[in-house]
Amino acid sequence: MNARWRASRAITNSYIPAESVPTDMEIRMSLQQMVSTSTPQVTAATAPEQAEAECYQRCFDLLEPLDRVRLNRDTHPEGDLLYHSLQVFELARNARPWDEDFLLAALLHDVGKGIDPYDAFQATLTAVQDIVSERTLWFIEHLPLQHRASEGTIGVRARRRLAEHDDGEELRLLAECDSDGRVPGRPVCSLAEAIQFLKDMSDE
């Protein structure tokens, strides 16, 4: 809080009402929006290699701070969010090592929890929507619904729509990886190694 007041005083010496000073969450969201708007978008004029490198760098930047996000020990005894994400990635890689869209969804599915814990799902979709394929986005968008389907808390029609989708089996598998990626002490690769694996897939 003191840092926010000092920053405000550096801008103006006038009286600043307490309610006008941005919260930590508002500052974090503004910074995320600045990153999203300042990062060059993929266009026909952008060299493919450069565009791909920028996308993977953004993935890395979204994931790297997650080791400081602690999870509920009752549901996530493994510890921090980055470790969970890497566990889900490892399980997904063991199951579908050839499916880049699927692996990206496994790695990025929870990044919003490091941006806005009060609306992590929407924060995740906003953060990744311009750096992943439509298929990867579909996996991430429908993962919570698949969890509910697995728990039997949605209707028969909704479950059928998921099951009959072209990627319904992969979505069910992703939900299993998400649920199983919560083991304390499980060996995982590093974040840099995960990103490099995905880069190598794109280069093949």
Mean pLDDT of 52-56: 87
Judge whether residue 28 has pLDDT over 50. Answer: yes
Of the pLDDT bands very low, low, confident and very high (cuts 50, 70, 90), residue 40 is very low
In three state form, how does the secondary structure of 87-140 look?
A: HHHHHHHHHCCCCHHHHHHHHHCCHHHHCCCCCHHHHHHHHHCCCCCHHHHHHH
Q: Is 31 exposed, middle or buried (0-12, 13-18, 19+ CB in 10 A)?
A: exposed
The string of pLDDT tens digits covering residues 162-172 is 999 999 999 99
Q: Model-level pTM? A: 0.75
Dihedral angle at the C-alpha atoms of 159, 160, 161, 162, nearest 10 degrees? 50
The string of pLDDT tens digits covering residues 67-124 is 999 988 888 999 899 999 999 999 999 999 999 999 999 999 999 999 998 999 999 9
Of the two residues 204 and 158, the one the predictor is more confident about is: 158
